[in-house]
Amino acid sequence: MQNTIECVLLDLDGTLVDSGPDLAGTLNSLLLEEGREPFPYQEIRPTVSHGGMVMIESFFGITDNEPELRRLHSRFLEIYQSRLSQETVLFPGMIEVLDTLESMATPWGIVTNKPAHLTAPLMRALTLDDRAACIVSGDTLEYSKPHPAPMLHACRIAGREPSKTLYIGDARRDIEAGSNAGMYTLVALYGYLGEEDKPESWGATGMIENPMDILEWLNKINDRTLHPA
C-alpha cells in the first residue's frame, strides 16, 4: 500500500536546528555594543523564531522608531552572519530522522522565513544543502509564511503533492502556512515557544516533544490515513 506521506518539510530555526545560542549571542553582542546589559539565554530563547527585528524590539524596547530599528537590525545581521554556525547544531535525534527518511526514499526539505543569504551558508555549514530536496527561504518568493505560497513552491521543487506532505514547525505561522496549503502539520514543542503561545489552539495534526516523534507520526498517518487538519 502506498504511504500517505510522500514528503516531509521542516522549518529551520527551532525545528531542524537549534540556532538559539547563536541568535541570542548576536543579540547580546549588539546590546553590549549599544551600552546595554545582556539578557540571560532563557529569556531570549522564546523570541528566536520571530526573527531579529522582533528580538530587537523586545529587548531594546523600541517599537516606534523605524530608522533606529533598521540601524540596529542591519548591525544585528552583520554580527549574526559572522557567527552563523558557531554554536548552531541539529536538535538531538534529527540526524536519525533525516537518515530514516532518506532510507525510505522520502524527500525532505526546508521552508523557512530566514533570508536566503543566511539560510544557504548555514545549510552548507551543516552539510545538509545537498541532502535537502528543496530549500525555500523567506525571500525566495514574494510571500513568506504564514502564506501558503512557499509551501506549495517547496512541493513543486520536490515533485510531491501538498496533500501527501507533512510540515513541522514551532510557530503559529508554520501551522497556518501548512494547513492553508492542505498539508499535515506537527508543532515542534521542543522549539522556541513562549508562555503566550497556545499550540493546542493552532489546529495542527499533532504535536511532538522531540524530533524522533516525527517518525511515530509518519507511521500513525500512513497506517490510519488521517486527514490533514
pLDDT at 227 over 70: no
Cell representation of residue 82: 559572522
| Crossing angle (nearest 10°) for helices 149-158 and 172-180 | 60
Confirm whether 13 is a catalytic residue.
yes
Amino acid 1: pLDDT? 43
C-alpha cell at 229: 487538519
Q: CA 22 from chain center: how many Å?
A: 15
Question: Which listed residue (11, 18, 22, 213) is catalytic?
Answer: 11
DSSP 13: B
How far apart are the C-alpha atoms of 29 and 11, rounded to whole Å? 26
Give catalytic status of residue 129 as yes or no.
no
Q: DSSP state, 143?
A: -
For residue 43, what are the CA distances in angstroms to 11, 21, 30, 58?
22, 12, 16, 10
What is the chain's Cα-based Rg?
A: 18
Task: Identify whether the C-beta of residue 52 lies closer than 8 Å to the C-beta of residue 81.
Answer: no
Q: Where are the alpha helices (DSSP H) in the chain?
A: 20-33, 41-44, 52-60, 66-82, 94-103, 116-125, 149-158, 172-180, 213-224
Q: Can you name the residues that pair with 166 across neighbouring β-strands?
A: 8, 184
- Sole residue written with cell 520536490: 158
d(CA 105, CA 180): 26
If you search the block for the grid coordinates 497556545, which residue do you land on?
Answer: 198
Mean of the per-residue pLDDT values of the chain: 95
Mean pLDDT, to the nearest integer, of 200-214? 98
Kindly state the average pLDDT of the residues 140-157: 98
Comparing 73-77, 134-138, 222-226, the range with the smallest average pLDDT is 222-226
- Determine the average pLDDT of the residues in 92-114: 97
User: What pLDDT band is residue 103 in, cutting at 50, 70 and 90?
Assistant: very high
The set of cell numbers assigned to 219 is: 507511521
Can you give the pLDDT at residue 225? 61
Is residue 2 over pLDDT 70?
Answer: no
Distance of alpha carbon 113 from alpha carbon 198, whole angstroms: 21
